[in-house]
Amino acid sequence: MLPPDVSRAAADETGAGARPERPPPHRPGFDPSAPAGMPHPDDSARGEAFRAMDRMRQALGAQATGGISPASLALAMFDWWIHLQSAPGKQLELVDKACRKAVRLATHVAAASADPATPPCIEPLPGDYRFRADGWRQPPFSWWSQAFLLQQQWWHNATHGVPGVAPHHEDVVSFAARQLLDMVSPSNMPLANPEIIERTVQARGTNFVQGYWNWLEDLGRLATGRPPVGTEEFVPGRSVAVTPGRVVLRNHLIEVIQYAPATGAVQAEPILIVPAWIMKYYILDLSPQNSLVRYLVERGHTVFCISWRNPTAADRDFGMDDYRRMGVMAALEAVGAIVPGARIHAAGYCLGGTLLAIAAAAMARAGDDRLASVTLLAAQTDFSEPGELALFIDHSQMHMLESMMWKRGYLSADQMAGAFQLLRTNDLVWSRLVHDYFMGGRTPMIDLMAWNADSTRMPYRMHAEYLQRLYLDNELAAGQFMVDGRPAALQNIRVPMFAVGTERDHVAPWRSVYKILQLADTDVTFVLTSGGHNAGIVSEPGRAGRRFRIAHKAAADLNVGPDEWAEAATVKDGSWWEDWTAWLDRHSAADRVPPPGMGAPDRGYPPLEEAPGSYVQQR
């Protein structure tokens, strides 16, 4: 949230509708000519000082809690507990389930004691690979894993379906219970994990020695602010982000990179890519074999991409509209000057897609027809069902986040990384503990993991506005997000749209991304691809095991729900990139043209340094 407005602080102090308390006539600083009930500036200043004390207290507390609001967690736990205590039917149901699960476990233990090949009585959830090794099928390890999975299932029942509990509080309690259970999983215990025991026997215990040195190395890097082991092999401009190009625009927030053509003729309409500012842009220009930018250039597209500045405390007052004006709109001006007369295919990824949707809606409202199409990659426009990230976003949590950002001027990369790790502790925390510290190995570094460690900061005002206006108030979907004093209504967008959701997205769940079909009054092609928020987008042709669903909805077609859409959509193997480029071709001019020059020096956009530019190197 923004710092409290003076008038709002005054209204809160007096109380809406309350009789204003006039100060005594001889109080220092009192202005007798001021209208009754109007606060004196000194009162507002003092009120702001009091608010500053509150923020400082929250910011200091956040250092001890990792940015998690204890009040938010306590409220959720109390809501769940008090309603569970007043629900005798739910209590009896849980007792019944506990008894039946105990019988299932005892029956399994007895059968497995006689025949180790006895099938398990419960299987892990899809995506849970902790107990996939053959050793977990043998007693006593099978008993422990089965007991853990049954207990995990019971706690899921205990934290869901308690009558009267607020849905958000239910999600928070369930998440907290899951975190505690994952912490004590037998897969994390050296004496209870058959894989660790087997490795210890083979290595004669040296795996723990190597794991100890791995831990010391990681601890040292964390303490000194250095990136994880192996990331030094993936440096932008050397091994990643190597598609040739030049920076053609630099302002305080962005660099715009124009990529060199790879074909003799190109599509007349250029492509502008708007990545998220929470990440470095080269997620879309990783290694040459999985670079979306290179893929587009090699197929005859003129590609421009925004590279966001890594903000500091001095940038604390940059807001959402600054990112729209100095980001998307400034980039469109540059592309329009370099490729004059051509309409532009705009593509936005994650937060960049949300910002692009806002910009496109505002442009449509103003009659600006420079866009040929809009593509949204794992980008939300309706935040009513934002997924597990919403666990960290409520009014109490917002107060703590705001206080942290108010103190520093930005949200730091380590604070964001911690939240994302909590969403996937099995994959990002506990599996690494077992592999690197107990088994003594090292998880091989790949380009996507190295990029993920190269995180950025977000300015105080921008991120507070983003969370308040979009996550909490859902202004964009409600048509209440104001740009230049007018609502940026998605229904005003008339250019064709292409939207991509990913099946295992913890950041932008695909059912939330899908809502663009219900918000936009235009033709929308929607793709649901395998993979997660990053790997589902970086899904180059030729990668084994990739698949996606695709369907087109005309503006006049009836809306259907996401599950009904998924059943009716066409299923394809391979990469969605190929279908997207074919879609772009269908919405472009038939004839190709000579490539434009690099930059437009005569229009104020001279080519500057070579790609990837300087902003991507900022730490």
3 state DSSP class of 410: strand
Told to judge if 350 belongs to the known catalytic residues of this protein, a careful annotator would answer yes
HEC assignment per residue over 238-249: CCECCCCEEEEE
Q: Of the listed 99, 121, 305, 350, which one is catalytic?
A: 350
| DSSP symbols for 501-559 | EEEE-SSS-HHHHTTHHHH-SS-EEEEEEEEETTTTTS--TT-TT-EEEEEEE-TTSPP
**H or E element in which residue 293 lies:** helix 292-298
Q: To 5 degrees, how large is the angle CA 271–CA 275–CA 588?
A: 15
Q: CA–CA separation, 163 vs 193, rounded Å?
A: 38
HEC assignment per residue over 208-275: HHHHHHHHHHHHHHHHHCCCCCCHHHCCECCCECCCCEEEEEECCCEEEEEECCCCCCECCCCEEEEC
Q: Tell the residue number behind the tokens 């710092």, with chain if given.
A: 3
The torsion of the CA quartet 109, 113, 115, 121, rounded to 10 degrees, works out to 10
3 state DSSP class of 198: helix
Mention every residue, 6+ apart, whose C-beta is less than 8 A from residue 235. none
Mention every residue, 6+ apart, whose C-beta is less than 8 A from residue 490. 357, 361, 381, 476, 477, 479, 516, 519, 520
Q: For 66-129, where are the alpha helices, taking DSSP H only?
A: 70-85, 88-114
Identify the bridge partners of residue 600 per DSSP, sorted by sequence position: 605
Identify the bridge partners of residue 308 per DSSP, sorted by sequence position: 254
Q: CA–CA separation, 383 vs 513, rounded Å?
A: 9
**Other C-beta atoms within 10 Å of 187: how many?**
26
Q: What amino acid positions are annotated as catalytic residues?
A: 350
